[in-house]
Structure 1
Amino acid sequence: MSESTTAPAEAAAPAPGAFGLLRLPESVLLGAGTLRALPTAVSELGTNAFVVADPFVATTPWFAEALAALEAAGVRATVSTDVVPELPVDSIERVAETARGASPEVVVGIGGGSALDLAKLVALLLAHPGPLSRYYGENAVPGAVLPIVAVPTTAGTGSEVTPVAVVSDPERELKVGVSSPRLIPRRAIVDPVLAVGAPAPVTAFAGIDAFVHAVESFTARRAAPDWSTTQPVFVGRNLLSSLVGLEAVRVIGANLRDAVRNPGELAPREAMAYGSLLAGMAFATGGTHLSHAVQYPVGAATKTPHGLGTGLLLPYVLEALRPETVPELNMIGDALDVPPGPAEERAIAVVAAVRDLVHDIGVPASLAELGVTREQLPRFAELSLGVTRLVQNAAVPATPELLDAVLEAAWSGRVTSDAATTPVRN
């Protein structure tokens, strides 16, 4: 078996028929101190703002200073801190009703993924009639939403640059997505200072979710778009998503452990803000796949954070896809500094390296640790198959047998490759 000779992604020439697609905000600001640009970013879009803020964020001195700066810039701000984790649909409609009373011209989201997704959905419901369920799925938003300014305070969802918002609907057994390019914020302000001091679990679960975004966008299917029609939200792996996705893998892989272990240090927060932003850009068009599809029913059943679930599932998904994604896994191995070796063997080592990262930041090793029973697995597989926009984005067809294998491995905490037959955690 020959040594792997995979070249870094940036050195490879485009293959015949290759294409690229990115959809981005009008402006993206990244760096320490960029929060000072908030008054200008908002006032350019309107002078009456509805601010959706994480309730903890709203207690911080910097948030009060930001509101004062908006007022000084002539922007009237109405604040809602009614951000419920995982966004139950009734809470979204409640906040949207409050927003209607303020008649805003622009919506500002400040906080983690739930706050930013809520801002997107409020902007949607202010422009188009409810119920929210009419917009579930892809490309169902019929027109422009109110302009959105997104200010993330965690490095994870990448929601500040993506066309997706995720909802928990009690009438369904899994989370659902509202996916439309119309949800992409007009302005994104990514100030890593805002994440300094975040608790380790918040940093870990947000950060590993960003890592999953990057890896799944890089291991997504390769499609042949029909440019004469409206494109799906997720078009699969492409030249541009791969470029930023692989850089996100490199940056997050090198800095996530440090960010979790040293919550008060700025440098790892700067790196994670950069990596999460790139991962959001990557999956905004490349898309995610099986880790996210399976997390939807698992998260709904266990009431566990989204990033915890996607991070837990990723090694088992990569193992299931490994035979068909050896080249991609080797390129991920380059980004993670996995030692060289025969391509197939190195792909196994890459899965192990991902598993080690997940373990090192405190993500549970198995679904059993979340209280999932083996009897629940078939229903999870059935529900996951129903998330067609994600399962169809995987590099290989997501058959019931494939999802059964992923779930069984994730429940037991074991992968099946010869080099990784021991439990993740003793």
Structure 2
Amino acid sequence: MMVSTIDNLIGLGLLRQPRTVLFGPGQRTMLPRIVAPLGSHVLICTDERMATTAEYRALQSSLEAAGIDVHLFDRVQPDLPRGDIMTLQADLAGHRIDVVIGLGGGSCLDMAKVASLVLAHGGDVRDYFGENLVPGPVLPIITVPTTAGTGAEVSCIGVVYDEERGVKVGVASAHLEPSVAIVDPELTLSCPPGLTAATAADALSHLVESFTDRAKNPSPEDLDAHLYVGKNVLTDIYCRAGIRLLAGAIERVVDDPSDLGARSDMMLGAFCGGMALNTAGTSIAHAIQSPIGGLTHTSHGMGVGALLPYVTRYNLPVRVEVFAELAEDLGVYDPVAGALENAKAAITRLDGLLDALGVPRDLKALGLSAEQIDDVAERSLLSTRLIANNARPLTKFDAVQILERAYEGDRGWWSL
């Protein structure tokens, strides 16, 4: 296990990223040119809604016009059930696939990653649950996100819901890093308001958690063995850029969902979140949300968004200077004020962005009951990888404290 401190004492910088990233309105039209050098038989993983859109039909037609054979799997469900992967494996038995394209939200992109794995190496996806268990290269993966939030277009993890075991588990490996990410903001224009809000809250949580994570100061052996090695100088660049973009775009998108400039900033900010979490990792907002989502069947983005005001307050005592830095990126920095005042101003501004998105201000609104708090706290501690990323240690007592404050909507300041 890495011996870590809060501060980046060794000046480490580390990024894992796709070979090619193509960003901008209309860039999805480049897809046939990108696919052609990689193969002539593609699998597209998407959901039923996306498969009926004019945008999808145009993409499939452009691939076929370039002489590329298209196999469509359009039954991806939210939270990517393991059963979907098993169905896809059965459907594709005997079919040649050279390239896998994920088109849609996070679950569709995750499906593309794990599909590329099981098609290349066989077996049950359970065989690969965990870190660095993928034995070698997978089929080339192209990600085309249609939401601005998950960061899955650039991350090397696929999250799967194992229905029989009742848990969400990650397949994490550098081999799952997409070959190409095509990030086209025009694809988010039709994103419904609720999904826009949930994914934006998710992106904000990725950026804040990655920036306030532990800096683990890994050894060369740690860097070789682990994907998530903590906050570092390169992830910090993406975090600050992403937070600036979201701070300037969220309210504009809420006011006018057709604002392509604001949608572009949102999508670029979400991309920055994916770049950061790919080595820094997320932390306790995600750890606590997981059992809450299982109990209440509420969206991941709204869950982490509802927890973020309370997690930031919990971490503030050990991250005053870091939150004070964010005040600059959030546009609330006061050069006359001290670090603590600026840190609190940053957290308050984050609260305002979440409120603008309509994120619930307390856990009651998600359907959690007071009687479930102890169980959620207990189950949160099972996410040891996420908890290890957090700057402040977390015990069950601490988790209960966070949950009780979040349940009551108590946005007071934790004692320093």
TM-score using structure 1 length? 0.92
Which residue of 2 is the match for residue 372 of structure 1? 368
RMSD of aligned residue pairs (Cα, Å): 1.7
CA contact (8 A) 1:92 1:118 kept: yes
Q: Which amino acid aligns with 1:35?
A: R
Describe the superposition over 1:351-383 as per-residue Cα deviations: whole angstroms up to 9, x where unpaired.
Answer: 222112111111111111111111111111111
Are 1:252 and 2:246 matched, yes or no? yes
Which residue of 2 is the match for residue 148 of structure 1? 141
**Which of 398, 412, 423 does residue 394 from structure 2 map onto?**
398
Which residue of 2 is the match for residue 193 of structure 1? 186
Deviation at 1:171, TM superposition (A): 3.4
Describe the superposition over 1:60-81 as per-residue Cα deviations: whole angstroms up to 9, x where unpaired.
Answer: 2121111111112121000111
CA contact (8 A) 1:50 1:108 kept: yes
Are 1:283 and 2:266 matched, yes or no? no
Deviation at 1:209, TM superposition (A): 0.6
Q: Which amino acid aligns with 1:118?
A: M
Deviation at 1:15, TM superposition (A): 6.8
CA contact (8 A) 2:313 2:414 kept: no
Mapped to 1, the partners of 2:288 and 2:165 lie a distance apart of 14
Are 1:267 and 2:256 matched, yes or no? no
Q: Give the secondary structure class of the aligned counterpart of 2:43.
A: strand
Describe the superposition over 1:76-112 as per-residue Cα deviations: whole angstroms up to 9, x where unpaired.
Answer: 0001110111112112221232234432011011111
**Which of 328, 332, 337 does residue 338 from structure 1 map onto?**
332
**Which of 400, 403, 407 does residue 411 from structure 1 map onto?**
407
Which runs of 5 or more structure 1 residues have no equivalent in the other structure? 1-13, 420-426
Superposition pairs of residues 3-152 of structure 1, within 5 angstroms: 17-152=10-145
Are 1:238 and 2:229 matched, yes or no? no
Mapped to 2, the partners of 1:15 and 1:417 lie a distance apart of 26
CA contact (8 A) 2:207 2:243 kept: yes
CA contact (8 A) 1:31 1:190 kept: yes
Mapped to 1, the partners of 2:391 and 2:18 lie a distance apart of 28
CA contact (8 A) 1:174 1:298 kept: no
Which runs of 5 or more structure 2 residues have no equivalent in the other structure? 1-6
Q: Give the secondary structure class of the aligned counterpart of 1:293.
A: helix
Describe the superposition over 1:42-74 as per-residue Cα deviations: whole angstroms up to 9, x where unpaired.
Answer: 112111001112222211212111111111212
Mapped to 1, the partners of 2:211 and 2:270 lie a distance apart of 14
TM-score using structure 2 length? 0.94
Q: Which amino acid aligns with 1:334?
A: E
Number of aligned pairs? Answer: 406
Mapped to 2, the partners of 1:228 and 1:222 lie a distance apart of 16
Residue 207 to residue 101, structure 1, CA distance change in 2 (3 Å) = farther
Q: Which amino acid aligns with 1:378?
A: D
Residue 147 to residue 332, structure 1, CA distance change in 2 (3 Å) = same
CA contact (8 A) 1:100 1:126 kept: no
Q: Which amino acid aligns with 2:406?
A: A
Mapped to 2, the partners of 1:263 and 1:128 lie a distance apart of 42
CA contact (8 A) 1:174 1:383 kept: no
Which residue of 2 is the match for residue 204 of structure 1? 197
Residue 16 to residue 389, structure 1, CA distance change in 2 (3 Å) = closer
Which residue of 2 is the match for residue 224 of structure 1? 217
CA contact (8 A) 1:156 1:208 kept: yes
Describe the superposition over 1:153-189 as per-residue Cα deviations: whole angstroms up to 9, x where unpaired.
Answer: 1111111100122222223444222221111110100
Mapped to 2, the partners of 1:135 and 1:380 lie a distance apart of 26
Mapped to 2, the partners of 1:27 and 1:305 lie a distance apart of 30
Q: Give the secondary structure class of the aligned counterpart of 2:194.
A: helix
Which residue of 2 is the match for residue 297 of structure 1? 291
CA contact (8 A) 1:249 1:336 kept: yes
Mapped to 1, the partners of 2:173 and 2:378 lie a distance apart of 25
CA contact (8 A) 1:327 1:343 kept: yes
Q: Decide which moves more: 340-349 or 246-255.
A: 340-349
Q: Give the secondary structure class of the aligned counterpart of 1:160.
A: coil
CA contact (8 A) 2:325 2:343 kept: no
Q: Decide which moves more: 283-292 or 140-149.
A: 140-149
